[in-house]
């Protein structure tokens, strides 16, 4: 009898140990004071080192952002732009828009042929796809307003990384090999990327190190008015582009008031236009708030239906109403008001899908993309930032300025080249997002900070084009509604609906076949083929005991570093 008791006791202890181990293993990195999570460990490490030597989250933003330009040229950049949302330790919130702008010589119909049809690839590949880059302006504005350390202390480790070189990961080797044909199509000279890459090769970036050294010496204006500006404009003109020295000299980043809204006991702070992220996220969350998602269960039939229907309606509004607020008037208050959103969901029924054709018209295809990059930082003082930055497509326009050592964006494709014709993310735009000189193209980037009961709770964001908004949404819901850890929330399978095409994109092999059948029985189309991954979310969660948990998406090479 005694023996049986001991065996049962042992079995119980083993079971408890296993449970504990499993629980712990599902947590991301936990640290006591500060953390950086980004697409590459080198960039997270440089950001964390900056924090360790007395820098704040804003200093670390500059270092991490530039280190991503070195270690993750797929999306990290000097030749692109982005958005940042912050929450200071005293609760003050704000946002920075360093989105690219259309050049002065841009015209509304610049991507159309004589019969008014969109010319394939003109807005995505090569010099005419480039918007005036905003990254250096944004990073220097952040440093000037909030930085604590001298810029030298921030840039020197990045320059050292560019000189020493970056070890190529398996994912990176695959991407570099895949895109070489496109690099050859648009570049006149031979690029340092022209070889067959293997995991553990090293790439050194001496030209980029020189550019960063000049920027360190001469400041922000080196990029917009100095030797770098002259080299860049000459290079773009040699490749048929229209960006001038005047375009660069006129570029300014803009501080913007973020979109804020409540959801249960959360306050969500996200990016305002010209990103659609904050408004769309607010619309979707306010539309689903009345439904009891936690009771329905994570990725259950009912939860997917409610979220899908809210996404459908929000993306239809995005298409019609949103653009650069400096050029178009956006009815933000109305779009996120309770009354309006309640009326938007009034025709929703669990019995049957609402066809997108009854919300609006169109027939298009979506191609998924992850060519943006996100990083989150919380510092030892309690400041939080959430940054999403991009070249748009993979390696942007594929144009690489060898003399300066960086790729140039193809952000012009985020404008609506022609009303009703989808861009590379399958997104349809209208007049609000048409091209005009100096206008900013509409974005989906959704850098987001969440408070819970008035305290800092989460910093989160992701790459992924049109799927950015819905990936951020699901990550917040996974923690708040379904009690997941940050790492579990980031890793959980995701789905996406964007009004048009009228289809639920699902990550393949991640959803139960019976569930998909049930959705199809109710009139939903499901596509598991075109989106091998939806988003690559990076986030930081403040735990109950005030320690920080990082969630670095297993879908990429993402890494959390903290102390
Ligand atoms: N280029 C992707 C976005 O801004 O949404």
Atom number of ligand 1 nearest to Cα 411:
1
Residue from 101, 467, 468, 471 whose mutation best tests the ligand 1 pocket (most atoms within 8 A of CB): 468
Atom number of ligand 1 nearest to Cα 442:
4
Q: Give the tokens for residue 5.
A: 């008791």
The pLDDT confidence band at residue 431, using thresholds 50, 70 and 90, is confident
The pLDDT confidence band at residue 360, using thresholds 50, 70 and 90, is low
The pLDDT confidence band at residue 466, using thresholds 50, 70 and 90, is very high
d(CA 414, ligand 1 centre) in Å: 6
d(CA 399, ligand 1 centre) in Å: 18
Contact 198, 152 (CB under 8 A): no
Mean pLDDT along residues 434-463: 97
Q: How far apart are CA 535 and CA 173, in angstroms?
A: 20
What is the C-alpha R_g of the chain?
Answer: 23
Contact 47, 64 (CB under 8 A): yes
Contact 176, 196 (CB under 8 A): no
pLDDT over 60 at 27, yes or no: yes
- 194-215 tens-digit pLDDT: 999 999 999 999 999 999 999 9
Quick check: CB of 372 below 6 Å from ligand 1? Answer: yes
Mean pLDDT along residues 525-541: 94
Task: Using alpha carbons, select from 303, 309, 418 the residue that is nearest to residue 364.
Answer: 418
Residue from 77, 101, 274, 390 whose mutation best tests the ligand 1 pocket (most atoms within 8 A of CB): 390
- What per-residue confidence (pLDDT) applies to 20? 37
Mean pLDDT along residues 420-438: 84
pLDDT over 50 at 15, yes or no: no
Contact 372, 465 (CB under 8 A): yes
Q: How many CB atoms lie within 10 A of CB 25?
A: 8
d(CA 38, ligand 1 centre) in Å: 18
Quick check: CB of 390 below 6 Å from ligand 1? Answer: yes
The pLDDT confidence band at residue 267, using thresholds 50, 70 and 90, is very high
372 is catalytic: yes
Task: Using alpha carbons, select from 395, 398, 433, 396 the residue that is nearest to residue 414.
Answer: 433
Q: How far apart are CA 145 and CA 238, in angstroms?
A: 37
Quick check: CB of 443 below 6 Å from ligand 1? Answer: yes
Q: Which residues of 467-498 are buried (b: 16+ CB within 10 A; e: fewer)?
A: bbbbbbbbbbbbbbbbebbbbbbbbbebbbbb
Quick check: CB of 465 below 6 Å from ligand 1? Answer: yes
Q: How far apart are CA 18 and CA 5, in angstroms?
A: 20
> In sequence order, what are the beta bridge partners of 537?
none
Closest residue CA from atom 1 of ligand 1: 392
d(CA 390, ligand 1 centre) in Å: 7
d(CA 453, ligand 1 centre) in Å: 31
As a dihedral over the C-alpha atoms of residue 111, residue 113, residue 118, residue 123, rounded to 10 degrees, the angle is -30
Handedness of CA 309, 310, 312, 313 (dihedral sign): positive
- Which of 372, 388, 448, 467 does the annotation list as catalytic? 372
Task: Using alpha carbons, select from 466, 364, 472, 470 the residue that is nearest to residue 425.
Answer: 466
- What per-residue confidence (pLDDT) applies to 370? 54
> In sequence order, what are the beta bridge partners of 455?
452
Q: What DSSP character marks residue 75?
A: T
> In sequence order, what are the beta bridge partners of 95?
85, 256
Q: How far apart are CA 133 and CA 228, in angstroms?
A: 13
- What per-residue confidence (pLDDT) applies to 428? 73
In what helix (H) or strand (E) does residue 202 lie, and over which residues does it extend? Answer: strand 202-203
- What per-residue confidence (pLDDT) applies to 97? 98
Q: List, in order, residues 6 or more apart from 2 with CB less than 8 Å away.
A: none
Task: Using alpha carbons, select from 230, 232, 60 the residue that is nearest to residue 142.
Answer: 60
């Amino acid at each position: 009898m005694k023996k049986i008791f001991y065996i049962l006791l042992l079995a119980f202890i083993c079971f408890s140990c296993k449970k504990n181990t499993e629980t712990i293993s599902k947590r991301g990195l936990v640290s006591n004071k500060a953390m950086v999570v980004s697409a590459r460990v080198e960039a997270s490490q440089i950001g964390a080192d900056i924090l360790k030597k007395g820098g704040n989250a804003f200093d670390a933003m500059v270092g991490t952002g530039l280190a991503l330009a070195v270690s993750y040229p797929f999306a990290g950049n000097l030749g692109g732009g982005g958005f940042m949302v912050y929450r200071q330790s005293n609760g003050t919130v704000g946002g920075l828009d360093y989105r690219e702008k259309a050049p002065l010589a841009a015209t509304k119909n610049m991507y159309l042929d004589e019969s008014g049809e969109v010319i394939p690839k003109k807005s995505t590949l090569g010099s005419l796809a480039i918007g005036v880059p905003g990254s250096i302006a944004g990073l220097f504005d952040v440093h000037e307003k909030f930085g604590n350390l001298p810029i030298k202390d921030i840039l020197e480790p990045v320059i050292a990384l560019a000189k020493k070189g970056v070890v190529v990961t398996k994912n990176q080797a695959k991407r570099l090999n895949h895109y070489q044909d496109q690099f050859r199509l648009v570049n006149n000279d031979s690029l340092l990327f022209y070889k067959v890459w293997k995991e553990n090769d090293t790439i050194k970036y001496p030209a980029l190190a020189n550019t960063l050294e000049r920027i360190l010496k001469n400041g922000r204006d080196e990029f917009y008015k100095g030797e770098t500006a002259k080299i860049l404009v000459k290079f773009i003109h040699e490749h048929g582009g229209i960006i001038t020295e005047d375009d660069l000299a006129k570029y300014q980043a803009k501080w913007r008031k973020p979109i804020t809204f409540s959801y249960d006991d959360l306050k969500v702070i996200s990016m305002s236009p010209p990103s659609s992220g904050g408004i769309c996220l607010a619309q979707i969350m306010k539309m689903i708030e009345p439904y009891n998602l936690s009771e329905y269960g994570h990725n259950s039939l009912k939860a997917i239906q409610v979220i899908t229907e809210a996404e459908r309606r929000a993306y239809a509004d995005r298409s019609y109403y949103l653009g650069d607020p400096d050029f178009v008037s956006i009815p933000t208050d109305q779009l996120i008001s309770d009354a309006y959103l309640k009326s938007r969901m009034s025709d929703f029924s669990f019995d049957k899908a609402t066809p997108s054709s009854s919300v609006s018209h169109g027939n298009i295809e979506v191609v998924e993309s992850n060519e943006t990059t996100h990083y989150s930082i919380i510092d030892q003082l309690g400041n939080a930032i959430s940054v999403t930055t991009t070249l748009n497509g993979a390696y942007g326009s594929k144009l690489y300025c060898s003399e300066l050592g960086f790729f140039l964006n193809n952000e012009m494709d985020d404008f609506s080249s022609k009303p009703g014709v989808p861009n590379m993310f399958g997104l349809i735009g209208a007049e609000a997002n048409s091209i005009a000189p100096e206008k900013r193209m509409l974005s989906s980037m959704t850098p987001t900070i969440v408070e819970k009961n008035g305290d800092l709770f989460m910093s989160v964001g992701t790459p992924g084009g049109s799927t950015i908004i819905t990936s951020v949404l699901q990550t917040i819901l996974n923690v708040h509604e379904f009690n997941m850890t940050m790492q579990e929330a980031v890793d959980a399978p995701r789905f996406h609906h964007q009004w048009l095409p009228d289809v639920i994109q699902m990550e393949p092999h991640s959803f139960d076949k019976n569930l998909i059948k049930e959705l199809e029985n109710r009139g939903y189309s499901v596509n598991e083929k075109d989106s091998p991954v939806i988003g690559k979310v990076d986030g930081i969660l403040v735990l109950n005991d005030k320690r920080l948990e990082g969630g670095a998406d297993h879908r990429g090479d993402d890494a959390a570093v903290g102390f």
